[in-house]
Amino acid sequence: METAFKLDLLHRPRRLRRTATRRAMVEETVLRPADFIAPLFVVEGKAPPDEIRSMPGVFRLGLPDLVKECRALFKLGVPAVALFPKLDPKLKDPEGTQALNEDTLVLRAVRAVKKAVPELVVITDVALDPYTSHGHDGVLTPAQDDVENDRTVGILARMAVLQAQAGVDFVAPSDMMDGRVGAVRRALDAAGYTNTGILAYSAKYNSAYYGPFRDAVGSAQAAGTRLLSKATYQMNPANRREAITEVLLDEAEGADIVMVKPAGMYLDIIRDVREATRRPVAAYQISGEYAQIHAAARLGWLDLARCRHESLLAIKRAGADLILTYFAKDMAAALR
């Protein structure tokens, strides 16, 4: 009988992987419900939740259902939500004037949520794409061929003050205009809202994966295409060093939290940003990332629960302290 082959090894890393208990003892990255921020879409009226076709399990919610969802999320341990309005197309115009309406949808949503769940952290988007008829994040130049940076920033600063007045905890400039974080910080401080934080979309790339989100807020419909290019203000996906420039500028201008968006295809950027700043780092697992996992799972090609967990684990392992994800509720329930 042939003798079993034996290696003379001092180190056998598999010893730490032999049982579930051992694996748990040496686990380096752990997901918690407190890691997640849930993006939520709000619409007018009291109609039943409207599922977004390209984002299974994600709904546009009227105010009563929005409040109900926020209560459920907070009960599961999710500490924060990010609100995005879908306006009636009739309210949109080239200047995005509804963004400065003191009773606009998202401001009423903030007031309703903070009244119902005051401990929940509420974040609001500071950009004009849900409000403009052309779908861009700011107002256009006279030639209609680009977004006008400085005039847009002036509108965004006023928009942020209105959101602070409504009771929001963090405003989140997502527009990628130059100088907008500093302008927003100065406007908030001048209006007395020194405790309102800024979560800056610092390294936001011109990604092809935003399509389902644009469906959700109606900016694709406004523009007439989900393929609207924002290349003159969102970052080039080919660039890595530029992300650090953007992050450090936002930090210097007063950002409390910096963000990388998208997350899953930009893990190297998350790691670079984590090493470059002492600020908390957020990452946004965007609509296209969510949609492709769901699509493959529905075809039976992937295990939804395992891929959901692994995708978020990778984002945290790369260095994100906070993760905006449409999986927030399901993940929080699974982890608890």
Euclidean distance between CA atoms 216 and 41, whole angstroms? 7
Which DSSP symbol is given to 265?
G
Distance of CA 120 to the CA centre of its chain: 16
Assess whether 204 carries a catalytic annotation. Answer: yes
Euclidean distance between CA atoms 287 and 93, whole angstroms? 25
Euclidean distance between CA atoms 49 and 41, whole angstroms? 10
Helix (H, G, I), strand (E, B) or coil at 263: coil
Which DSSP symbol is given to 147?
B
Euclidean distance between CA atoms 300 and 114, whole angstroms? 40
Residue 272 near residue 319 (C-beta atoms within 8 A): no
Euclidean distance between CA atoms 194 and 132, whole angstroms? 29
Distance of CA 140 to the CA centre of its chain: 24
User: Could you please report the per-residue DSSP string of 209-245?
Assistant: T-HHHHHHHTHHHHHT-TT---TTTSBPTT-SHHHHH
Among the listed residues 86, 261, 316, 329, the single catalytic one is 261
CA distance to 102, 112, 127, per residue, from 158 (Å): 11, 21, 11
Torsion angles phi and psi, residue 126, rounded to 5: -115, 95
Which DSSP symbol is given to 170?
E
Among the listed residues 86, 114, 204, 329, the single catalytic one is 204
Matching residue, tokens 């989140």: 172
Q: Within 10 A of 154 (CB to CB), how many other CB atoms are there?
A: 14
Assess whether 316 carries a catalytic annotation. Answer: no
Across the strands, what pairs with 281?
258
Euclidean distance between CA atoms 238 and 266, whole angstroms? 10
Euclidean distance between CA atoms 6 and 46, whole angstroms? 70
The residues assigned a catalytic role are: 204, 261
